[in-house]
Structure 1
Amino acid sequence: MDKKYLAKIIATDNEGLQMISACCAGAKVKISDIKFLQENKIFLLSIERTKIESGQEDKKINSICKFDFVDQVKSKNINQKDQDLTLELIGIDYLKNKDDFEINLIFNNNAHISLKSETIEVRLEDQNEIK
């Protein structure tokens, strides 16, 4: 597969985060593909998304969404024991809370994950196309 179609978006501000949010809207995420590496302060989501930014709506792609400098993760309405459960990511937004950012991952069924972070540093990196 041609590597040049594999996007890498790095967000360090609201505008970048909105772009990643738009690219991830409607993405499927399995509970088993959500990881918080506490020692490294990294939160990872492995997602299956539609390649909307290239106008190829029929193209599905596996991507990794990586959040750096994450101090704390809270989830609501997510059964973490159900590793096969697939959520749909609706969007990502954030609030500034004193010196911290609270990045919110909003899923279907009123589920969400909130990341407490000292800064916005998010990467969306495509892995491979789903044939």
Structure 2
Amino acid sequence: MSKYLAKIIANDHEGLQVISACVSGSKTKVDNIKYLASSKVFLVSIERIKIESDQKNKKINSICRFDFVDKVKSKNIDQTNKEEILNLIGIDYLKNKDDYEINLIFDNNSHIVLTTETIEVRLEDQNEIR
């Protein structure tokens, strides 16, 4: 059994698609979503199935980190309900003049839009869930 923990770095459309595929179907709590405005970092701690390995039923805790984030907007997410579970469907983006709008799409028509000058996303596995 390997203890290989993935680290995927994306700075273009293709890389973002790879990360989106890896996080699709993952879960997070509202409390596990943080925006550190002073350092322009947006973090989401997720529980996901490790689809990129041959062990399809392995669950793993991962951190998805977005850098150079200037603005964050959320829709249909109750930020006062810290225990609410959000199911992440995928990540997409739009180019808007000089900025990118990275869209984290959740079920129940909720989403978070990150306004950023560049695509700089990291998906880092933390530990396996037993």
What TM-score results when the alignment is normalised by the length of structure 1?
Answer: 0.97
In structure 2, the partner of 1:109 is 108
Distance of 2:105 and 2:81 partners within structure 1: 18
In structure 2, the partner of 1:15 is 14
Gaps of 5+ in 1: none
Gaps of 5+ in 2: none
Q: CA RMSD in A?
A: 1.0
In structure 2, the partner of 1:74 is 73
- The one-letter code matched in structure 1 to 2:46 is I
What TM-score results when the alignment is normalised by the length of structure 2?
Answer: 0.98
Q: What do the CA deviations read for 1:25-64 (whole angstroms, capped 9, x no partner)?
A: 0000100000000000000000000000013211000000
Residue aligned with 1:95, SS:
strand
In structure 2, the partner of 1:94 is 93
Q: What do the CA deviations read for 1:61-87 (whole angstroms, capped 9, x no partner)?
A: 000000000000000000000000000
Residue aligned with 1:17, SS:
helix
Identity of aligned residues (%): 71
Residue aligned with 2:58, SS:
strand
Distance of 2:22 and 2:89 partners within structure 1: 10
- The one-letter code matched in structure 2 to 1:31 is V
In structure 1, the partner of 2:44 is 45
Distance of 1:84 and 1:6 partners within structure 2: 27
In structure 2, the partner of 1:123 is 122
Distance of 1:84 and 1:36 partners within structure 2: 17
Higher strand share: 1
Residue aligned with 1:21, SS:
helix
